[in-house]
Amino acid sequence: MNSTRTVTFPGVACPGITLAPLRRGPRDPCYQLGDDGAIWRTSLLASGAVTARIRRASPTAVECVAWGAGAAEFLDTCPALLGADDDASDFVPRDATVVAARRRVPHLRLGRTARVLEALVPAVLEQRVPGADAFRSWRVLVTRFGSAPPGPAPPRMRVPPSAEAWRHIPSWEYHRAGVDPGRARTVIGCAQRAASLERLVSWPAARARQALTSLPGVGVWTAAETAQRAFGDADALSVGDYHIPKMIGWTLLGHPIGDDAMVELLEPMRPHRYRVVRLLEASGLAYEPRRGPRLPVHDIRSW
């Protein structure tokens, strides 16, 4: 049995842009695209597992259909997930490129999942490794230790593991998934504090983001990546990212820059620094030449 809710927006609805940051690679077992363009997503909520199909029903409306014990809770929160609560009324960009980006995607909205551990674990897995490696680790662990999704989910989809499941994954399974002991310890430590972490969704976003950095193994970058998704934090700038400072530099200045210069450059755009990054990405104006060193690939399974 399924439940349905339609979310209507005052302007153009574009769930694909809003939800894109939740996708952990093209084979994410928790996020798939249907042949009809619908977005399929699984999640483990306080009330239980849910499978959701999200599609644009009209230019200004999004239809959400949900299955499972968590369906009612999911539908209650789907407006926030789709960015209905995102407030950009005080965002007045001055940079010409950012202005152009906003003109291209005036309907960009930042959504919030309100699921902290589900955003935090993949962020930890992405620490200091190429994206493809992190996506594989996420896929392997979720497929192995997640659960079957309710409803008519596409093949190979899984519900993310519970906090208890993350805590009890054996060390050799993390190793097989390409996760080094340091990141594995961080995932387990975060899972041990899951109940406290989920309460952060009721805090102001900046304060909640700062609280995340008190966790062992969770720094500014990981906290920002989590806050962007779980809290819809428009100012959560991913300081320490391998690509974003270079992209910001090339796009806005015509040359690469580092973290300190990026922070200084985007300071006038506070509290919308992450919004600027998403605008540049979603508009297609983000630019970074394909040259220079890449992050080295380390297959720790051979260690």
Nearest of 276, 229, 203, 37 to residue 126 by alpha carbon: 229
HSE, side-chain direction, 13 A CA sphere, residue 50: 26
DSSP characters for 214-231? TSTT--HHHHHHHHHHHT
Alpha carbons 238 and 223: distance in angstroms, whole number:
8
2-88 — its CATH code? 3.30.310.20
Cβ neighbors of 184 (< 8 A, separation 6 or more) are 169, 171, 174, 175
**Tokens 């999942």 sit on residue:** 113
Range(s) within the chain of domains with CATH label 3.30.310.20: 2-88
Residue 207 has pLDDT above 60, yes or no: yes
Q: Residue 293: what pLDDT?
A: 55
Mean pLDDT of 49-58: 98
3-state secondary structure of 39: strand
Alpha carbons 19 and 112: distance in angstroms, whole number:
9
Range(s) within the chain of domains with CATH label 1.10.340.30: 116-230
Residue 111 has pLDDT above 60, yes or no: yes
**What letter would DSSP give residue 2?**
E
Residue 266 has pLDDT above 80, yes or no: yes
| More confident: 294 or 278 | 278
With a pLDDT cut of 70, the percent of the chain lying above it is 96
Radius of gyration of the chain (CA): 19
Give the phi and the psi of residue 116 in degrees, each rounded to 5.
-70, -50
Residue 83 has pLDDT above 60, yes or no: yes
CA angle 196, 198, 202 (to 5 degrees): 105
Q: Chain-wide mean pLDDT for the chain?
A: 95
116-230 — its CATH code? 1.10.340.30
With a pLDDT cut of 90, the percent of the chain lying above it is 95
Alpha carbons 77 and 188: distance in angstroms, whole number:
27
**What letter would DSSP give residue 152?**
S
Q: Residue 1: what pLDDT?
A: 83
Q: Residue 125: what pLDDT?
A: 98
Q: Residue 290: what pLDDT?
A: 77
Q: Residue 292: what pLDDT?
A: 57
Q: In what order do the strands lie in the sheet with 61-67?
A: 2-8, 61-67, 48-58, 39-45, 31-33
| Whether residue 106 has a cis bond before it, omega within 30° of 0 | no
Mean pLDDT of 63-86: 98
Mean pLDDT of 189-215: 97
For residue 302, name the pLDDT band (cuts at 50, 70, 90).
very low
Residue 294 has pLDDT above 60, yes or no: no
Nearest of 177, 174, 77, 187 to residue 122 by alpha carbon: 187
Residue 108 has pLDDT above 70, yes or no: yes
